[in-house]
Structure 1
Amino acid sequence: MTGKQTAEEPKHKKDLTRRKVVAVGAGAAAAVGIGGGFALNASADESATGASAGGSSAETCYRLTSETTEGPYYIDADKIRRDITEDKEGIPLTLSLKVIDSETCAPVRNAAVDIWHCDALGIYSGYESLSTGGGSAPTEAPSGTPTGTPTGAPPSGGTGGGGHEEPTDDKRYLRGTWKTDRHGRVTFRTIFPGWYRGRCVHIHAKVHVDGTWTDAGYEGGHTCHTGQFFFAEEAALASAKVEPYSTSTTERTTLTEDTIYDQSGTTGGLLRLAYDKKHIAKGVHASITVGVDPDETHDGTGDGGEPGPTASASASS
């Protein structure tokens, strides 16, 4: 994986084993730019599940983060940057990750972390012609009630098998790679993702280790983790009331209906969220600790299928 590292980042426009790992302390609640009262979403897994692994009492042990499928729309790290927003409209999102070694609980330094996700209307950059998204809201309410069970193959484009698709365009918004610092932390600025048929709101991620950072980007190494991050239903529902999310005409799959999320809370990739409950449009801070085994390889190409944005909902089951 290679990419050109920019000298200056753009300013944000709206500014599975069961070994224990150490979680982020209370830092998730410090949401930059989110004033006043805020909602803090914490999964049930964020209660202590074992003895402290050393350090301060604020550190709690958790199980390893789940591995998932890569999905069809991964593009190999050709945008080395922390602000991946470009010109996309949506609720500002700050994503704070901490990557640690699952054996020692030590931070994984200088790892390359990829993230990518769809825009507010379910479109992936690099694959706009394969994405249908939600379009704009109809001028008239639909009439009639659909009957029967869908038959036939999924629509063209997308895939229900999780196989990689070759990019169809040169857009790269809402994609980026950056390295973890000496504490294993990395932060991205982006927008709250939208949704598409068959999937709940989510962000894809990969962690690469043992490579080399050069002037050209990140080279060599291997992928020790491929996963997805998920958003609590309360936040997804709140986002759906804000433009441009509110113009989507695509039926939304809920967190409990999603076939990729394993319903295990933090272990499965459920993010800890902080935002103004009455004004989510002001921005959201999301955080999670990702436990990895640096010696393992998990590239996500053999961990089951995922529907693309145009795939049939039945293809995800």
Structure 2
Amino acid sequence: MTGHEKAQGPQHKRDLTRRKVLAAGTGAVVAAGVGGTFAAGAFAGEETPAAGAKASGTSGETCYRLTSETTEGPYYIDADKLRRDVTEDQDGIPLMLRLKVIDADTCKPLADAAVDIWHCNALGVYSGYEAMGSGGGGGGGGGTPPSGAPTGSPTGAPTGSPTGAPTGSPPAGGGGHEEPTDDERYLRGTWRTDRKGEVAFRTVFPGWYQGRCVHIHTKVHVNGTWTAAGYEGGTTCHTGQLFFDEASVLATAEVEPYSTNTTARTTLDEDTIYPGNGTEGGLLKLKYKKGAIAKGVVATLTMGVDPEVTQDGTGGG
């Protein structure tokens, strides 16, 4: 398997029963439109019920299929900013991401849940990890080589046997958590679901980096408490990734700054994380004007979760 987010060993353990989201920038929720696609009421919660979902569940009956669990990846940062507009100063195609969270057993919306999203920018760089370049260390590739890096091809065969166990953090391709390298936090944020289980984020269409298709990471936290400081306690009931169809990605590749991204792109079918099961696996439903994707995209998805379990993101489900 290739790609920088496949699990190759124990995930860095973090306490998921005590979680605090810092409310930095809480008051600056932007409601103004961006481009011709987004109106001021874009956060009004207009998503329709999930297709095929039953009105209610009965004992032993599944109301809605669980949304696939995937690896958290190495670039999650807890205690992120409490906000719906995560764009900051990042260039890219405006993206309105509208998610609905429901109990997969009863089909009831999960109100007051905390939903995290985070993703790379148009050139494949994650905030908090800019030193790792496009997609980061070992498996990310595409970044600028460090100064003083060796050049040319090695000569001669290695001699002797290695001694001792490897030390230090796993490379980015191993799926283990990486510690942040900087204080940037663009394209990251957390917000609460409303009484309909809906939440919306304003961001930009993600780019790509070596080994992965275009995607957005997400987590859903329940049973915590919203306070003046943010969201505290609770458990993580879903860790997943959201994906984009190939037609939309190819359309973005014609638009700057995506067109300047020279990193080899992994397609949706080639990706080793995407489960290949459509919306159940996190494939977003997209709306945009054909031939004018640069004006903006609206992406929607209903996520069926089990609020009684903990999904720590150490692997797929």
The TM-score with structure 2 as length reference comes to: 0.74
Contact 1:111 1:179 in 2 (8 A): yes
1:284 to 1:158, Cα distance in 2 relative to 1, 3 A: farther
Contact 1:213 1:219 in 2 (8 A): yes
Identity %: 67
Task: Report what 2:163 is aligned to.
Answer: none
Contact 2:56 2:107 in 1 (8 A): no
Task: Report what 1:28 is aligned to.
Answer: none
Structure 1 residue 62, shift from structure 2 partner: 4.5
User: In 2, distance between residues paired with 1:12 and 1:205?
Assistant: 24
Aligned residue runs from structure 1 range 197-208, under 5 A: 197-208=210-221
User: In 2, distance between residues paired with 1:157 and 1:174?
Assistant: 24
One-letter amino acid matched to 1:108: L
Aligned residue runs from structure 1 range 92-131, under 5 A: 92-131=94-133
Contact 2:132 2:143 in 1 (8 A): no
Task: Report what 1:80 is aligned to.
Answer: 82
Contact 1:72 1:158 in 2 (8 A): no
Residue segments in structure 1 that go unaligned for 5+ positions in a row: 16-30, 34-45, 56-60, 137-155, 305-317
User: In 2, distance between residues paired with 1:157 and 1:266?
Assistant: 32
* 1:265 matched to 2:284: no
Contact 2:67 2:305 in 1 (8 A): yes
Match 2:250 to one of 224, 237, 248: 237
The size of the alignment, in residue pairs, is 251
SS at match of 1:234: helix
* 1:191 matched to 2:195: no
Once superposed, what is the RMSD of the aligned Cα atoms?
Answer: 2.3
1:86 to 1:221, Cα distance in 2 relative to 1, 3 A: same
Task: Report what 2:29 is aligned to.
Answer: 9
Residue segments in structure 2 that go unaligned for 5+ positions in a row: 1-18, 40-49, 58-62, 136-141, 145-168
- Which of 1 and 2 has greater Rg? 2
User: In 2, distance between residues paired with 1:135 and 1:244?
Assistant: 16
Structure 1 residue 32, shift from structure 2 partner: 4.0
User: In 2, distance between residues paired with 1:112 and 1:191?
Assistant: 21
One-letter amino acid matched to 1:130: M
Structure 1 residue 299, shift from structure 2 partner: 1.3
**CA shift digits 1:256-305 (9 cap, x unpaired):** 0000001100110000000001100000000000001000000102449x
Contact 1:198 1:252 in 2 (8 A): yes
